[in-house]
A and B are shown apart, each in its own frame.
Chain A
C-alpha cells in the first residue's frame, strides 16, 4: 500500500491544467536544465506520445520551457514562459518524435551551447507531478528528482564504490538508494541521498582518479 501524506492529496499547489502535463513537465524541464547546466542558447524538445498530441492545449510546451528557465511548478509566470525565453534570447523548438518503448508522457530535451557539446536529457511525467529521468546523453538512468541525486561515471575498477561511500560517510551523508550499471569498462552510478548536496562533496568525488564525470542535482520541488 502506497503511503500518502496530507499534502499529496491536497497538493501540489500548482499551475494548471494537469499535474502530469504541466507540473510534471515543469519539473522535467527544471531537472533537465540542472543536469545539462545553464548557459544554453537553444533547446529542442522532442515530444513523445500524449505529450506530442496534446502539448499545446495542456500548456506542456510552456511548462517545459518554464522549467528550463528555472521556474518552479507553482510559478505564475509559466503562462508567459515562451515570451520570457524569447526575451532572454533562447531559441525554443518543439518536435513530435517516437522515442520508443517509453511512458506516453516523455520528452527528450536537447540543450545547445556555444562553448561546449550538445547535451540531452530524457524523462517522463508519470502522474500527479511525479517524474523519472531515464536517459542522459545516451546513458540509461532512473531517478525521480524527489531526493538530492549524485550522478557519477567512472572507469570501473575494484574499490571505487567503497571509496565513494567513504567520502559520503565522512561528510555525514546518508545514501537512500544506489544503482550502478556498466557498459564496457565505464560504470554509471546514480545515488539518491538524504541530505542536500554540498559542492565540497562533489569536488572530493571528482578528485578520485577513476572518475570521468560527477554531478550533484538537488531535489526538484514539487510545488
Chain B
C-alpha cells in the first residue's frame, strides 16, 4: 500500500519495480483480478481514450450548448499547413487534447481522467510519447497505471475536484499524472516521474476554475491543450535531471491549501474569472 509519493518511491526501490508495476500488483490484489483481467479492463479505458483523442481531428465536433467546438480540427489543419510556431509534436498534442474536450462537451464518450473536464490531457500525452518513441499499446496501458497511481495520491491527500480546489486540482492533477506516466514510458526512473509530477502541479498552482456559463467548455478545452504541454515539458525537465526543490508530497499539500484558500467564486461556481467578465455573463444569459 502507498498513500504518498514517498511511500510509493520506497516501495518501488524496495521491490525494484516501476510505479506502474506497483500499482498493477496492488490493483490485482485489491480487486482479486488476474493480471490479464486487469489489463483487459484498462484496455477498454485506453480504447475509449484513443477514440476521443482522434475523433475531433478530421471533423468538427460542436458542443451541446453550441457555445464551442471545431477547434481540434482547426488546430490539426493548421499543424498540417507546416507553418506553426511550436512545431508538429506540440500542435498535434494540443489538437488531441482539444478533441477529447470537444467529444466531452458534445455528450460523446470519454474517460474521466481524473475528471471529465480534464479528460483530454492524459490520453494526448500518452499518445504523443507513444508516437515519438515508437512504443506499443502495452506501454500505454502501463503508463495509465502510473498516471492512475499519481492521481490516487493527489486525490487522497488533496482533491481532484474543481469545486473544491479550482482547476489546479483538475487540469493540474491530470498534467501531473500524465507527466509521471510519460517519464516512465520514456525510460525515466521513479524519482524523475515524481519530479515531473511536482513540476506540472507547481506550474499551474493557483489556477482557478471559471467555466463560462457553468459549462465544461471554455476555458476547459484550452486548459486541456495547455495541460498536455505542461505535462510534456515537465517530463522533459525531469528527464534532463532537474529536481524539484519541493518534494512531490509537499507540492500536493500546497496545492490543497491553495485550493482551500481560494474564494468560492473561483471554484466552479462561474462567479469569477473569465466566467464573470461582461462577455462571460452575456454567454451565460444566452445559454441559460
A3 closest partner in B (C-beta): B156
**Distance between B164 CB and nearest chain A CB, rounded to angstroms:** 9
Query: In this complex, what residue of A is CB-closest to B102?
Result: A16
State whether B44 touches A13 (Cβ < 8 A). Answer: yes
Complex: A15 Cα to B104 Cα, angstroms: 7
Please state if A16 and B151 are interface contacts (CB–CB under 8 Å): no
B116 neighbours in A (Cβ, 8 Å): 14, 16-19, 22-23
Chain B, range 77-107, C-beta contacts under 8 Å to A: 103-107
B111 touches A (CB below 8 Å): yes
List, in ascending order, chain A residues with CB within 8 A of B48's CB. 13
Which residues in A have their C-beta under 8 angstroms from that of B113?
A: 9-10
- A16 near B106: Cβ-Cβ < 8 Å: yes
Question: What per-residue 1/0 map shows which CB atoms of A70-110 lie under 8 Å from chain B?
Answer: 00001010110000000000000000000000000000000
Chain B residues closer than 8 Å to A1, beta-carbon distance: 3, 156-157
Of all chain A residues, which has the CB nearest B148?
A6
Contact yes or no, A10 B110, CB < 8 A: no
Given A2-B155, A4-B152, A10-B45: A59 in contact with B64 (beta carbons within 8 A): yes
Q: Which residue of B lies closest to A22 (CB)?
A: B107
Any chain B CB within 8 A of the CB of A53? yes
Query: Which bucket holds chain A's interface residue count?
Result: 35 or more
Q: Tell me if A56 is interfacial: C-beta within 8 Å of chain B.
A: yes
* Interface pair B152/A50, CB less than 8 Å apart: no
Distance between Cα atoms of A9 and B116 in the complex (Å): 11
**Residue in chain B with minimal CB distance to A50:** B214
Interface residues of B in 146-168 (CB under 8 A from A): 147-149, 151-152, 155-157, 160-161, 163
Contact B112 A17 (CB under 8 A): no
Query: Chain A interface: which of B23-31, B128-136, B189-197, B202-210?
Result: B23-31
Most interface-central of A5, A56, A57, A58 (chain B CB within 10 A): A57
| Contact of B45 (CB < 8 Å), options: A11, A18, A50, A128 | A11
Q: Is B217 an interface residue (CB 8 A)?
A: yes
Find the B residue at minimum CB distance from A73: B109
11 contacts between A and B (CB under 8 A): A2-B155, A6-B23, A10-B113, A10-B151, A12-B111, A16-B103, A16-B110, A17-B216, A59-B64, A62-B107, A128-B115
CB-CB nearest 7 A-B residue pairs: A16-B104, A9-B151, A57-B65, A6-B148, A17-B216, A79-B107, A57-B215
Residue ranges of B at the interface with A (Cβ–Cβ < 8 Å): 3, 23, 27, 30-31, 41-42, 44-45, 48, 63-65, 67, 103-117, 119, 122, 144-145, 147-149, 151-152, 155-157, 160-161, 163, 177, 213-217, 287-288
